[in-house]
Structures are given as structure tokens and as C-alpha cells.
Structure 1
Amino acid sequence: MPHTDPTPAAASAASPSSTDSPSAAAASAARIDAALTGPGAPFAVVRAQDGAQAGSLVYASGPRTLREFAETTWAFGDQAFLIGAERSYSYGEFFAAASALACRMTEEYGLRPGDRAVVAMRNHPEWQIAFWAAQLAGLVAVPLNAWWTEGEFAYALDDCEPRVLLVDGERLPRVAAWAEKAGARVVVFHHRDGAVPVGAERYDDLPAPDPLAAPPEVEIRPEDDATIMYTSGTTGRPKGAVATQLAQVGAALNPRFHAAASALGRGVIPGQGPAPVTLMTFPFFHVAAFTSFYAAMAAGGSLVVMRKWDAEEALRLIREHGVTHYAGVPVTALQLLAAAERADDRLESLQMLNTGGAAAPPDLVARLTARYGERIEPRNGYGLTETSGGVLANFGADYRLHPGSVGRPTPVTEVRITGPAGEALPEGEIGELWLRGQSLVRGYWRDEVATAEAFTDGWFRSGDLALVRDGRVSIVDRIKDMVIRGGENVYCVEVEAALHEHPDVEDAAVLGVAHPALGEEVAAVVRLRPGATVTADELRAHVGRSLAAFKVPAHVLVRDEQLPRNPTGKILKRELRGVVDEEVGALRRSEEGA
């Protein structure tokens, strides 16, 4: 455990640009913050003096390793934890299964703390057994994108060199050749047909777990590596972001803090009432899922697991299991609300709609409020692979008032808005968002150059443009996505939000295209709702009513098909760019010819 300063640090991770006269909402948030983070409070913080988190704020109490965090869930016993289509697990059954697999990996496979264990499968309940078995054994869990091709898997496997692969039958053909060549052990889940390769065994063939057996006796330290999570790779080859045990337990405590702050904001004592039932639609390998399942496990809640997203099936599961919390990317949340409207489903059990993984259009909370009033609490936030999940959150009344914000930081997250030279900018000015805190990764796996480029004196440079007002952070755009039109900055997120406000727009992406005189001009790709008749010119006029003329897309291209997205819900603009450049070029040539 890193040495910490015994003097409690500031109760809130305030931005350097905070003001002396905060708004009433900010003052209320500060009072709640103080109640939760003061000396002796459950989320009190101190400043670490050494280790990977040196200089950062860390929680003063609570678990210091993921094994400690997991061991506390054993107390939930027969409460339902994982609810799948084929098999469900109580907390007791889950912990016994994870302990048995952890013992097998240490005793039978000879794995030792620090060895890497890849987890690659769909959102089966057994994904959680595999991941937590790795943590109970002191291994470094490496969740890989289940959508990857064989070549993409091979790149990551060569990079992290795992000694064991925990995969489902669908992923097995994509990793089997690598495993055989490397001599890695393989455990295959949900594989009923065909033989398994040499060195592999079916999980279903392993001995039944002993419900009284303990996990293996291994030493796990807070400074040890816990996970390697590969970035989404939207701008190049994925990099392996390495989080320590202390960083991941910080990530596990962050959603607990926001849940407590939300409860106090509603006048409710935190922790009272029945355990939450969460419909999990994030892929488990994505960092947004970690925020959700950490929150569920801390409260003894249940995770209803979807194998594949389907809005109508989601409605059925919500009704069948009395789902209280929805967790997913904004596009699936919008589809859920649309399906509920078509079915006249009042979502009676739902108490929270939580989105992450991609920017939420401001009209999402407006649509939720228009149909359900204030009964369902909206929540969104901000997090990255490099922050091990959500570190900012916006919820409840504050979210309804400020739907374009991603909220306020956790107590162990410090925020800085910087100019080109890394200087702190005043309140309200747009600059790059820098972050520092307990849950940040220590760097990139075996990549000192990338680590040095991303981190400065413990601060992570996010690459996002943002501003802070009254302690509330708003993300403006990705630095690389900003369009510079004739010297004027156009933030794509702002234009996308304006397009989303039109009732006929289902999805939208804004990007820059080259222009001989202006340098760049703004283009938009739009998918309309079924039956919509709005024209491109009408959409341009709609944007022009709320934004300056230079921000209005010069070109609006309407699509029937869904816009390309990665598994986390982010639009893949690189896949759109070539097609957009071609279409815009054809339009210009046509206009010149006319």
C-alpha cells in the first residue's frame, strides 16, 4: 500500500478554475461532498506520497485490492448476482466457482501472481467468474474485445503474452492457433460441439466447485498490476492500459460515492431499500461495464445479462426481473425509450437510466422527462480506459438542468483545464481536460513512449476539449475532431447535439471535410427516424436557428443504414470520412459543372 499523508486532503476534487461564488446547485453539491468525504466519513480522502498514485488523492479507507473487494461479496450468499439466459448464479455460487477456477489456475496450471490471464467471451455470466478467478489468483486480467478478428486478437496476445486464455466457444477458433504456438492453457466456456485443442479443456468438464472452498493463498499488493485493458483503437492500434490493484479498487469505490451523493440529493439515506437490479447491456470487456458491475457488487445487486442487444427483449427482461437500473450506451438507451413508447410500456420498475461509453445527446434526458416525469433518475458521466471507468457523473435534477454536462468529479479525481502549454485556464474557458486520481492507470503496457506522451507529473492528458463552470465539467469535443473553418473553431459535439434536437433525427455524426479556401468546412451524416420526411436543407435551417452560421453544416448527407459504431457506442468517423469526402467532392464537381 502506498504511504499516504495522514492529513486529509480537500474533501472535493475541485478544478483549479472553481469560483468563490458557486451557484446554489454547486453549493448543495459541496455540502453533500463534505458530508461524504470529511474526516471519518465513508469516502474520506488523503494524498498518496509514493507508488504509482504518488501525489494523487486516494480513498483513506476501503479495500486495497480487488481480491479484498470480491471477498466482501461472499456475505451476500444466496442473493442473486448473475442472471443469464441459460444459467444464473447467486453470490455464493459465483464466489465458489471463481475460487475453484483460481485454485485450478495456480495448482494445476502453475500460474503465479503477475502472469496474464486473457478473458474473451460474450456477456455470459461466466465472464465474471473468469475475471474474478484471475483476481483471486493474483493474475493480471486482460479483458479483450469479443468482436475482434483473429488478426486483432493475435496483435493483443503477442503484446501481453498471457499464460492462460479464458474464452467462449465462439472465440476459440480465433485464438486457438496462437495458444497452441505459445503453449498457453485454454479454458473454454459454452463450447458443446467439436473437440478442443491440445492444452485446452471445457469449463463444463471441470469438477463442481466446493461451496466451502477458499481461494488460493497468494500475496497480492495494492501496487501490483490488476488489469490490462486495451483502448478502443479508433485512431490507431490499441494500447494496453495498465491499472494497479489500488487503481481498480478506486474505480470500484467511485460509483459507490456517486450513488451515495445521488441518494442524499434526493433526501434518501444511502444504502436503504432493496438491492438494485441492473440490466447490463455494456459489453463486459469495456471499461463502462466495470463501473456498472462494481456498483452492483458493492450493493449486493443483481446483473441481468443480455447476450446481444435487442430493445424489445430488453423490455421483456425489465418486466420479468423487475429491473431498477438500466446501464448502456446512449444509442441503446434511445432505442429502449422508443420501444417502450411504441409498446406503451411505462417501465414501472425502472428507477435509473444510466448511460456511458459515448457522449449522450442532450435530448435523451428531455425525452425521458417528457414521458416519465422525474420518476426515473437520469445519469450520465465521463470515463476512459485510462481512468478505469467513470470519474465524473451527472445525475438527477442537476442533469435535467444541465443535460450537456458530464457532471462533477469523484473525491479522488482532480480536474484541470489546460492551454497549449499545459497552463491552467480560467473558469469557463475551453481547453484540454487533464485528470489525476486514484483510478488512473499507471501507463501503457511495455510502451514508454506512449506513456510519456499521455502523462505529465501524474496528470493524464485526455485529448478531450472541455470547460468547467461551478465545478461542473462539459466535454466540448475531441481535439482531433474539432473542425477549423476559416480560422473559426467548430466543435462537432455541439453541432451533433443541435441535429439531435430535431424530432426526425435518430442519429448524427459531424466531421470536417477539406475546403480549398476555408481549410475545412462542416459536414454531417444523418440517419432519420422511420417515416421522417425532413430534408437536408430543413436540417441545416434547424441548426442555424441555434448556432452561428459558420457552424451550420455545409453538407448534410442522409443515410438509411445505421452509422458505424464500435462496441462502446462511439461513432467510427474514420469509416465515414472516406465516403463523405467522396460524396462532397462529387457534389462540388456537379455544382461547378452547373
Structure 2
Amino acid sequence: MSPAPETLPAVLDEAARRSGSRRLVFPEAGQSCTVAELAHRSALFADVLLTHEVGRDEVVGLLAEPGAAFFTAFFGVLRHGAAATAMPALTGLGSARAQAERLAPLVDTTRMRHLVVAPELAACAEHLTRLRPTLRLIPMDAAGTVARTGDPDPSALAIVQFTSGSTSAPRGVTLTHSAAVHGVEALARACEVTGQDVWVNWLPHYHDFGLVTDLVQLFHGGDLHILSPLTLIRRPRAFLEYVAASGGTCLAGPDFCYQRMAEVADPDWISTLDLSRLRLCLNGAEPVRPETLERFARAVEAAGAPPNVLCPGYGLAEATLVAALSVPGAPPRIAYVHREHLAAGRIERVLPGDRAAKAVVSAGRPVASVRTRVIDSDGKPCPEGALGEIQLMGRSLTTAYLHDEAVTAASFDGPWLRTGDLGFLLDGHLFIAGRSKEMIIVRGVNYFPEDAEAVAKAVPGVHRERCVAFAMRPTDPDEHLMLVAESESEDPAEHTRLAGEIAARISGHLGLAAVRVHIVPPRWLPKTTSGKWRRGAARDRLLAEAPPARGR
């Protein structure tokens, strides 16, 4: 028996030999190709890099919309022996100049010399070269004349993945071929992916959730359909209609995308769809809300989907996406714990209807490539039922942040990666409580921002449940919890009324008088490229604008 392939190009070639007729479909671009064609085209693209004098071991940027050309270039770069980083840009998301300004720090962080550019983002690339004149552009639609099939060393750098929101101060996660292969394999096994699966993906390829789930399906599944991220966000009904028409079995995304689909899935409409093949909907990258599990399950059940299709998990770019995952098809595990005691670091089970109950969804158990532990503030392992920082170790993890020794040193506790996430273990299952750096401390008492946000979202007048909470002026005598909520109203009197109601509800729910609320227009709150709220960026913007505080 031949040894298992240990690099991403070798895994692609093995998939092409095994089942090369499987297809990648890009319906909005009117493109498709087989896995075998992708393997061959990527070998030709490696020749393009050679003619452009791209050095081995350098980091090459990829700037493209979803399409076959991106994956051709991605694997071509890896075959050449260089590392690839997908740049976060899409047409329709700001001007070409504005996007170029956001990309310039990524060029600096990677010390990038070459950028492979698709025609649809040529204007952005041109602006970028004006900002960084030493950057050389390579057309993504170029074709080589010789198929170059060299295989890099498994320990060589393969992917640089920028963490969510890291654009002004970019932090590049480095993944070797070996780490990426182990991570993709672990996720495929945990998801029980087979050649019968049809994966419909909308997640951007420049985010780890999108890229790694694409690779899982490319290497281990059946056909892969990739839509624009804007399709689900702007036209969730059209996305669900496509899932039904293509016989989709697997989806992935953060909690908000399932909220979005459940919002538009009225029974009369969704019952006309056939979602009976849907079996797995990965839910991760942000806190999983119990109400989302219930609403989405109820919505797709009306279209014939089996129960418990939502599969909560926990992951991060540093772990090649996945660290823990629930069992596909199993009922979700929800722990109801005392909110105040949890914030203080203790886990006390309460009844679901208890006024102090906080519902926390299990992320499942660690996947095969990862070991997990929870550490207290003294650096000692926590027993089950105690809150602490989640740390990870395993074959699919990064070992460094690109060109940043100080951040790398601060991010590891010996061989263990410090995630900065708070969680606890119950019955061997991992529960995620929040981010340690986002914990709100007011007069010595801890509060989770998600608790305040959950209260505010339910207040009529908050636009599309869009709000964030964070600590403001965290020093005496004026420390308080600040919540910023979006509203469609332009009436200052309505803003005052809405802010007062939100503040009163949060104060009553959390037992906290030091609450202030500020109302902003729609689309004011910043998000990451994967759709997560950027609480720190919202606080910085609020401080820059110096608004009058409303609330208590």
C-alpha cells in the first residue's frame, strides 16, 4: 500500500486519480470543471509562476472572485513550492481604491512580491500597485505550456491565513502542508463526508471556514457548488432554492447565516422546496444560539429535511479551521448554567426556565487532529465544570504567526496554543463561553457581551437585531457597559426612547445599573470578512465620534 499523500497538491492528485469526474460548479460565473481538470490546469499554472520568476518559499497573493481560476492558481502556487494567501476582496464591496487600501497592510505583513489577479479585480490590483510599487502582478487567466507536478516538502509553508478582522494590524496564521492535510482530513472524518455528498458553499475562499470546507469536499466528497458570499447575505431565498435544486447535502457558516435563512423561510414558500437530502449544516465561527438551532430546524423540516441537521462546532484559523465538532445528526447538547456564576468562573447547572439561566450550546468533542485543555488564571488545568481559557495542541495547528516572533511567543504556552477563548468541559463536551479579551468588567464584576446583546436584540426597533456590547472607559469612576444598536429611525426622540428601553431591559436582566446605549443608523456597526461583529472596532469608532451617551 502506498503511503498517504502529505501535501495539498499530492492529495489533489490522489483525488483526481480516484474520482476525477467530480465537478466544481460556479453557477453565477457560468463555470465548472472536474477535479481531474483542476489538477492538470494547476500543474500548467505552476509553469506560469516559473516564467514570472516567482521564488520558492515566498508568499504569493491571490485576488479573485469565486471561480475555477482561483483554485487553479491556488494549487499552482503550491506545486511551485510557494505559499498562497487569498486576499479579502470582492466586487460590489466598496470601491477598488478602498479595497486596495485595506489590502496594502497584508502585502506588507507577508512581504509579498507577486499578486495573481483575476480580470474582475484588475482595478483593485492597479490601485494596490500604486500604493506598493514593488508588487508585481500575474494574470490569473494566464496558461503555461509545461505541466509541472513537483511536490513540496510536507513541512513547507503552504497557506497564510489572516485571522478575522486583522487588516489594520494583520496577523498571518502559517499552516504547513502537513498541518493543512491533517486538518482537512480530520474535518472530513468528523463530518462523515463521502462521495455521495453535494456541498453548496457560500463562504469566501479568503476565510478559513470557506477555504477548508472547499478542500474537504474537493478531496473527500462529491460535487462542490460555490456561490458568491453576497448571494446568501442579500438573497437567502435564492440560496436555499439553489440548495434544493442541486440536491445539496452539506452547508457551512456562522450562526448568523442560519438566522438569515430562517427569517425568510415562511412555511408557504419553503414547503415548495425539496431539502430532503440535506444532512449536515456546520454552525461555527461565532457563538451558536439555541434559538437559531430551533428556528432553522423548524424551517427546513417543512421542506423535508431530517431533524438535527445543524451541527455546532468550534474552530479557528490556527487549527486549520476545526478543533471540536458535534456528531452529525445528533440532537444538540445545551447546558443551562447560572449566568452570574459563569462570569465569575464557576459552572452551576440551573433549570432552563430559571431567570438566571444562560444557555450554552456544546461544540462537541475534539476532532482527531487536536487535543484540548482548559486552563485557569494560574495556568493550571481546570476540572470539568470550571471556566477557563481553551488551549489546543495537535498536528493540524499552526506553529507561528508570519514574521511576528513576539506575537508567536505570547500565543503559546509551551506546545499549547492559547486561543483567548473562554470555555468549560461537561461530560467530555466542550462549551464556548466567549472571548477573554471581550469580557466586560464593571466594578469588579464580569459580564459577557453576548448576554447584553441577546437582551437588546429582542427590543422592537433594533434594526435586524444588529447590536454589540463592550466595556467603555474601564476605569473608575465611569466604568460601564456600552451597547450600540442600529435603528432605521432618524427621529432623535425615538432614539432616546429606544436607548432607554434597551438600557432598562439590560439592567433588569443583568442586575447592572451602569449601562449606556447609543443608537446608530443601519450598517454602522463593523463586521469581519466572515460576518462577525468587530466589538473593538465599534468601540474605537464610537470614541472617535465622541457621542453623547444615553441610558443609565
The equivalent position to 2:23 in structure 1, one of 80, 85, 92, is: 80
- Which residue number in structure 1 is paired with residue 178 of structure 2? 246
Task: State yes or no: 1:186 paired with 2:137.
Answer: yes
Q: How does 1:175-254 map to 2 (within 5 A)?
A: 175-176=125-126, 185-189=136-140, 203=141, 206=143, 215-234=147-166, 237-254=169-186
Distance 1:159-1:542 versus aligned 2 partners, 3 A rule: closer
Q: Report how far residue 117 of structure 1 moved.
A: 1.9
- Which residue number in structure 1 is paired with residue 211 of structure 2? 290
- The amino acid across from 1:317 in the alignment is Y
- The amino acid across from 2:412 in the alignment is F
- The amino acid across from 1:483 in the alignment is I
- The amino acid across from 2:408 in the alignment is T
Distance 1:290 1:246 in 2: 16
Task: State yes or no: 1:322 paired with 2:247.
Answer: yes
Check the 8 A contact 2:487/2:522 in 1, yes or no.
no
- Which residue number in structure 2 is paired with residue 452 of structure 1? 409
Q: How does 1:374-523 map to 2 (within 5 A)?
A: 374-375=306-307, 377-395=309-327, 396-399=329-332, 401=334, 404-499=361-456, 506-514=465-473, 520-523=479-482
Distance 2:120 2:427 in 1: 49
Distance 1:541-1:348 versus aligned 2 partners, 3 A rule: farther
Check the 8 A contact 1:275/1:301 in 2, yes or no.
yes
Distance 2:123 2:476 in 1: 52
- Which residue number in structure 2 is paired with residue 64 of structure 1? 6
Check the 8 A contact 2:499/2:518 in 1, yes or no.
yes
Q: Report how far residue 174 of structure 1 moved.
A: 3.5
Distance 1:321-1:256 versus aligned 2 partners, 3 A rule: same
Q: Which moved more, 1:177-186 or 1:283-292?
A: 177-186
Check the 8 A contact 2:173/2:400 in 1, yes or no.
yes
Distance 1:135 1:220 in 2: 7
Task: State yes or no: 1:171 paired with 2:121.
Answer: yes
Distance 2:379 2:478 in 1: 27
Q: Report how far residue 570 of structure 1 moved.
A: 1.4
Task: State yes or no: 1:119 paired with 2:76.
Answer: no
The equivalent position to 1:360 in structure 2, one of 267, 270, 288, is: 288
- Which residue number in structure 2 is paired with residue 41 of structure 1? none
Distance 1:130 1:282 in 2: 19
CA-to-aligned-CA distance 1:510-562 (integer Å, 9 cap, x gap): 212237756532233345799x99955665666677x5413x88234455514
- The amino acid across from 1:509 in the alignment is V
- Which residue number in structure 2 is paired with residue 338 of structure 1? 263
Task: State yes or no: 1:155 paired with 2:105.
Answer: yes
Distance 1:206-1:244 versus aligned 2 partners, 3 A rule: closer
Check the 8 A contact 1:366/1:400 in 2, yes or no.
no
Distance 2:212 2:222 in 1: 13
Distance 1:428-1:94 versus aligned 2 partners, 3 A rule: same
- The amino acid across from 1:258 in the alignment is A
Once superposed, what is the RMSD of the aligned Cα atoms?
3.4
Distance 1:371 1:178 in 2: 44
- The amino acid across from 1:71 in the alignment is D
TM normalised by structure 2 equals 0.80
- Which residue number in structure 1 is paired with residue 538 of structure 2? 576
Q: Report how far residue 488 of structure 1 moved.
A: 0.8
Distance 1:244-1:525 versus aligned 2 partners, 3 A rule: same
Distance 1:289-1:113 versus aligned 2 partners, 3 A rule: same
Check the 8 A contact 1:484/1:519 in 2, yes or no.
no
Q: Which moved more, 1:472-481 or 1:514-523?
A: 514-523
The gaps in structure 2 that reach 5 residues or longer are 91-97, 336-359
Q: Report how far residue 500 of structure 1 moved.
A: 5.0
Number of equivalences: 496
- Which residue number in structure 2 is paired with residue 103 of structure 1? 47
Q: Report how far residue 448 of structure 1 moved.
A: 1.2
Distance 1:109-1:150 versus aligned 2 partners, 3 A rule: same
Distance 1:70-1:500 versus aligned 2 partners, 3 A rule: farther
Distance 2:322 2:433 in 1: 18
Residue 473 of structure 2: SS of its match in structure 1?
Answer: strand
Q: Report how far residue 110 of structure 1 moved.
A: 4.1
Distance 1:568 1:156 in 2: 17
The equivalent position to 1:555 in structure 2, one of 505, 516, 528, is: 516
The gaps in structure 1 that reach 5 residues or longer are 1-60, 190-202, 261-269
- Which residue number in structure 1 is paired with residue 76 of structure 2? 133
Q: Report how far residue 355 of structure 1 moved.
A: 2.7
Check the 8 A contact 1:506/1:528 in 2, yes or no.
no
CA-to-aligned-CA distance 1:165-186 (integer Å, 9 cap, x gap): 2222343333347669766653
Distance 2:372 2:267 in 1: 42
Check the 8 A contact 2:258/2:296 in 1, yes or no.
no
Distance 1:146 1:358 in 2: 21
Q: Report how far residue 285 of structure 1 moved.
A: 0.7
- Which residue number in structure 1 is paired with residue 274 of structure 2? 348
- Which residue number in structure 2 is paired with residue 46 of structure 1? none
Task: State yes or no: 1:89 paired with 2:23.
Answer: no
- The amino acid across from 1:434 in the alignment is Q
Residue 444 of structure 1: SS of its match in structure 2?
Answer: coil
Distance 1:497 1:63 in 2: 46
Check the 8 A contact 1:244/1:441 in 2, yes or no.
yes
Check the 8 A contact 1:361/1:500 in 2, yes or no.
no
- The amino acid across from 1:433 in the alignment is I
Which structure exhibits the higher relative contact order, with contacts defined as CA atoms closer than 8 Å and separated by 6 or more residues? 1
Q: Which moved more, 1:280-289 or 1:363-372?
A: 363-372
Residue 276 of structure 1: SS of its match in structure 2?
Answer: coil
Distance 1:572 1:427 in 2: 31
CA-to-aligned-CA distance 1:292-321 (integer Å, 9 cap, x gap): 112212333223222323313313322332
Distance 1:93-1:486 versus aligned 2 partners, 3 A rule: same
TM normalised by structure 1 equals 0.74
Check the 8 A contact 2:470/2:483 in 1, yes or no.
yes
Q: Report how far residue 281 of structure 1 moved.
A: 1.5
Q: Report how far residue 68 of structure 1 moved.
A: 1.9
CA-to-aligned-CA distance 1:125-149 (integer Å, 9 cap, x gap): 3212211121222221122222673
